[in-house]
A and B are shown apart, each in its own frame.
Chain A
Amino acid sequence: MSENTPTAGGFTGDPAAALRVTGSGACCGSPAQAVGGILPPAGATANGDPCCGTRQAAQAADSCCGTEAKADAIAAGQGCCS
């Protein structure tokens, strides 16, 4: 069997794009994938609050978490959303 047997599977675009996914609403943990349209849009939580840190810091980082607060939480071995 060829290692490159063509089927309908595999990436439809550039596989390396999977390395550039910016992520969804939570800065870690779930949600895994927006299904059913009930999840917040990318970069926002359900009510617009940052997962951690201040709103200004989160907005500056274009994330739901402030960069410094997130780094501190990760360094401490805690969830970056906790």
Chain B
Amino acid sequence: MTAPTDLADLLEQVSAERMTATIATLASDPMAGRRAGSAGGAAARAWLVDQLTALGVDVRTEEFPVRAVPQVYEAPTVTWGDRSGPEELVFGRQVAIHPASADTYRIRRGALGVAGGKADPAGRWLVVSAEMSLFDAYRDTHGAAGLLVRRPVDAEGWQFTMLAGPDPGPLPVLTLDPDTHHAALTAATVGDGWLAGATPLRRDDVIGTNIHARLRQPGTDGADVLLTAHYDGVGDHPGLRLPGASDNATGVAVVLEAARMLTAALPAGAGLSVALLDGEEVGALGSAHHATQLRADRATPLVINIDGAGRLDGAAAVEAGGPAHRLLALLDQAGRHAGVPLAAGPVASDNRRYGGAGFAAVGIGAGLGGYHSPADTPDKVDPAALAAIARLVVATAHLAATTPDTLSSSIGDKR
């Protein structure tokens, strides 16, 4: 079969420099971490629309409602003390606001207690042991000032931020790093210690916005590939930047690079479209919205979703859903062409929405430099990993367009 462009030549054209520049832009200060419904998210979207428009195709946006997005509207001031004296805790490192916290603006001061302990909880900040769930901690909290739960930190000492999580409860809930939590639990156990803090966390109903571009129309029997990546992030906190470089400016950069190359390289009849998705961090709502639209349109795309292409330590993780056997066979071949090792592993991202809706879908994740924390910066992104995942995506789409459907599967090929 003759393709307009030889695959090996095409793969040589992948530019890590272009992708690195994309990531630097998306992770920059004006984008403010790209939380759904934020001004930074809108700035990112405007820039991405321009990038796709520059490919000479029509770009459209699609809005959908997003309810109760957690927003820390003020950096919390939290102080605690025991016999050794008071200590103000560092927001983002030693203390953060749990996504299930109630919104309290005024500082509450109270003695420390142990959640589930015998002491009267009224007026106390209750330290929840590492073994106890928040679910159980709520059992006897009448009149408590709030709850203090343990949260791990990353290699740079940052707590991670989550937007999707349990519904808010009636109490303020702060998360403490393991060292502070241990000290507070020790103090609470001996009846010592106090804490003063607030939990300024509101929940806003916002509008999420997906970006769509149809780069090539599919023919009657041609393959139709849909490349997706979420462009939203968890967003900055007051005084704390969360750039979202690896998660998921890398995935967006890969999709833009692949789209730019494939638009001119695929044969006639091969379809290609792009969806840059919003609202992944609040529960993959953008892809849920899009999957519903695709079903209504009776479309049958092969979906390739990229979430995290900043680091490739060993094999890239691949999770598949829907009728994806042929897509996996193509991905396997593409991995060999591109020299990218692959392994089945969790990629809990937008691909699950497409797979769950019945589309052949794969999610590809190659690792993150700093998960949902200020450590997720562009300098953590490995250009070689970016290039490898872009080659993989380009090769997969190219093979989908040039390999006959009768290719049952390369799964089980002897190597």
Contact = CB atoms under 8 A, between A and B. Distances in A.
B is a partner of A: yes
Interface of A: 1, 3-26, 28-36, 38-39, 42, 45-52, 55, 74, 77-82
Contacts of B332: 10-11, 15
B8 A1 contact: yes
Contact of A18 (B133, B248, B318, B349): B318
A30 B336 contact: no
B349 A9 contact: no
Contacts of A32: 247-248, 307-308, 317, 346-349, 363, 365, 368
B67 A47 contact: no
A23 B352 CA distance: 10
A35 B133 CA distance: 23
Contacts of B6: 1
B interface residue count range (under 10 / 10 to 19 / 20 to 34 / 35 or more): 35 or more
B335 A28 contact: no
Contacts, number: 215
21 contacts: A1-B6, A4-B333, A7-B339, A9-B339, A15-B332, A16-B411, A21-B320, A24-B346, A24-B348, A30-B164, A30-B372, A32-B307, A32-B349, A32-B365, A35-B368, A39-B160, A45-B165, A49-B134, A55-B135, A82-B67, A82-B283
Given A9-B340, A52-B166, 17 more contacts: A1-B6, A6-B415, A9-B336, A10-B415, A11-B343, A13-B344, A16-B328, A19-B320, A19-B324, A21-B320, A21-B344, A32-B363, A34-B346, A38-B153, A49-B134, A49-B135, A50-B166
Contacts of A7: 335-339
B151 A20 contact: no
Interface string B374-415: 000000000000000000100000010001000000110101
B318 A30 contact: no
Contact of B149 (A10, A29, A35, A47): A47
A3 B333 contact: yes
Interface stretch (B39-47, B80-88, B252-260, B284-292): B284-292
B376 to A, nearest CB: 10
Interface in B14-31: none
A28 B166 CA distance: 13
B113 to A, nearest CB: 18
Interface in B265-324: 279-285, 288-289, 292, 307-308, 311, 315, 317-321, 324
Contacts of A80: 283
Contact of A9 (B166, B285, B337): B337
Contacts of A11: 318, 328, 331-332, 335, 342-344, 411
A30 B342 contact: no
Contacts of B328: 11, 15-16, 18-19
B234 to A, nearest CB: 8
B55 interface: no
A81 B167 CA distance: 9
Kindly list the 3 A-B residue pairs having the minimum CB-CB distance in the complex, ordered from nearest: A79-B283, A17-B344, A10-B335
Contacts of B338: 7, 9
B166 A36 contact: no
A21 B328 CA distance: 13
Contacts of B324: 18-19
Nearest to B65: A77
Contacts of B345: 18, 21, 33
Interface in B124-156: 128, 133-135, 149-155
B168 to A, nearest CB: 11
Nearest to A17: B344
Given A3-B399, A49-B134, A82-B68, A10 B348 contact: no
A46 B90 CA distance: 21
Contacts of B315: 12
Interface in B169-184: none
Contacts of B165: 45, 51, 81
